[in-house]
């Protein structure tokens, strides 16, 4: 099965009817990731079909779980963004989002800057700094994908949020012990099971807010 058909079927399963132009841009991102990965080792996954499932569709799986009010014209940050995941796929699909990619490893930031240029993503900002060094109160939402334990995510990135902002942690198994270690002053307000087409593994979105 071609990559374009795999993507089309995956998006249909997620309930995301995207234009042909948007799908083409998602595949262009995937091709750029594969190209750079040969030299810069951005991801351990080498196969494009696996990248599509474990990177693209996994990143986009949070969209059906979120209400539009959490997305439209909002300022988002992707902490520990790596190869721009989930930030770049989200920014492609939702051009109304202002997406900041926060990543300290220069080769990964360089890839993000190239993707911003080649894919024409004016709503993406690349920030090559440590998250804890950034000024607070900048973002409506902060997302992480396998960045750290929840306690570390909250401790390092919580200050980035505006007063009523939310932290979104993309996790595999939502372990109860980890949920209970959220620092005082914060609370897990939702735990949403995500469904990634073609992936036989648990995925959850943990929503954390100031208590």
d(C-alpha 87, C-alpha 102), whole Å: 10
Supply the pTM of this predicted model: 0.97
| 112-165 residue pLDDT tens | 999 999 999 999 999 999 999 999 999 999 999 978 899 999 999 999 999 999
Quote the pLDDT of residue 136: 97
| 174-191 residue pLDDT tens | 778 899 999 999 999 999
For the chain, the residue count is: 211
Quote the pLDDT of residue 148: 82
pLDDT bin (cut points 50, 70, 90) of residue 73 is confident
Quote the pLDDT of residue 175: 78
Mean pLDDT of the chain: 95
Domains of the chain, with CATH numbers? 3-210 (3.40.50.150)
| 22-66 residue pLDDT tens | 999 999 999 999 999 999 989 999 999 999 999 999 999 999 999
């Amino acid at each position: 099965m071609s990559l374009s058909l795999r993507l089309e079927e995956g998006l249909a399963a997620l309930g995301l009817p995207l234009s042909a132009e948007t799908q083409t841009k998602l595949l262009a991102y995937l091709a750029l990731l594969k190209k750079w990965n040969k030299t810069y080792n951005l991801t351990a996954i080498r196969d494009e079909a696996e990248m599509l499932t474990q990177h693209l569709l996994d990143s986009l799986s949070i969209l059906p779980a979120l209400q539009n009010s959490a997305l439209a014209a909002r300022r988002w940050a992707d902490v520990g963004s790596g190869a721009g995941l989930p930030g770049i796929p989200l920014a492609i699909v939702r051009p109304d989002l202002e997406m900041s990619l926060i990543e300290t490893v220069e080769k990964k930031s360089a890839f993000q800057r190239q993707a911003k240029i080649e894919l024409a993503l004016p709503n993406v900002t690349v920030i090559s700094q440590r998250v804890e060094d950034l000024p607070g109160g900048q973002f409506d939402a902060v997302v992480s994908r396998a960045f750290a334990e929840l306690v570390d995510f909250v401790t390092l990135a919580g200050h980035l949020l505006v007063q009523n902002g939310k932290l979104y942690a993309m996790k595999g198994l939502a372990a109860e012990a980890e949920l209970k270690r959220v620092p005082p002053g914060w609370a897990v307000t939702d735990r949403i099971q995500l469904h990634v087409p073609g992936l036989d593994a648990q995925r959850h979105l943990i929503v954390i807010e100031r208590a």
